[in-house]
Chains A and B, each alone.
Chain A
Amino acid sequence: MLREEELKTFVEGTTNYFEVAAQQPATIGSPYLMEGAPAVHDYTGMITISGKREGVVYFTAPRAMLTVLLMKMQENDFSHETMRDLVGEVANTISGNARRDFGRDFVISVPSVLAGEKPDIPRKPGQRSFIIPINWRSHSAKLIVSLT
């Protein structure tokens, strides 16, 4: 289960991502706990965590938000493949940055991506996911962190 100070690592990582990569800060809503599979947006980037912690980190966002994010990054390819690439890269960056606090035994996988599908979060009995709401410009996305 994620502790409060560990949750802060992901909140700060998310804030930093939008501030630096998109040059426009995001507003982070109050994180909450959820059992069961959370609702996802059009695209979901997933990182599997192994090592001293196990679980998954998801970044899920609507296509409209990703389009604006790509524009802010001076990207001019808005194809399905680029959307997939972007959600994977955001999930990878936030998870990789978490090693600053978790250390190198917090092992992250290469990203895998879902488009329009609900993620199947592997979970031990009683394990719950933290949902971190992300509001950026007029769009909403989520970071979902489920760790043992």
Chain B
Amino acid sequence: MAAQRNGAGSRRSLKLLIVDDSNIMRRRIERSQQFEDLEVVGTAGNGIEALEMFNKTDPDMVTMDLTMPQMDGIECISKLVQLKPAVRILVISALADKATAVEAMERGANGFLNKPFTDRQLNEAIAELMS
């Protein structure tokens, strides 16, 4: 699913929303992702901003940090999945325990990438999410 086709048969980019409370991480993810068919449509610094941006941009995919102020990533994942069950969510978090990864997946995340990560690891994780 590198891209979707519209009725006329032309390719449409997948829309990506990046959620992380670190500006550096948001820019890093945007800069490092190497998929021509992936368009970053917005970024957010916490779960509440993510919900607002999600409603504005209707993304196909979301990268989601977990430890964030105001609304954390776990709660935000549940809300995003309620809004759009087909959304694909890649958690990108420093939290490295298995129980957290399991909970994120149970809430509706589709992948989990631990920080710190290399560009290659990021792109492999995104590719898996897009497939």
Contacts and interface: CB of A to CB of B under 8 A. Distances in A.
Interface residues of A, number: 32
Main secondary structure of the interface of B (DSSP, over half): loop
Interface stretch (B48-56, B76-84, B93-101): B93-101
A94 B114 CA distance: 11
B51 to A, nearest CB: 18
A97 B118 contact: no
Best-buried of B23, B25, B100 by chain A (most CB within 10 Å): B23
Given A75-B28, A93-B116, A100 B97 contact: yes
A17 interface: yes
Given A81-B23, A104-B100, A95 B68 contact: no
Contacts, number: 69
Given A96-B96, A104-B97, A85 B22 contact: yes
B96 A97 contact: yes
Given A73-B28, A85-B22, A89-B25, A100 B118 contact: no
Most buried by A among B28, B31, B94: B94
B27 interface: yes
| Chain B interface bracket (under 10, 10 to 19, 20 to 34, 35 or more) | 20 to 34
Nearest to A109: B67
B116 A16 contact: yes
B41 to A, nearest CB: 22
B31 A92 contact: no
B24 A85 contact: yes
A63 to B, nearest CB: 15
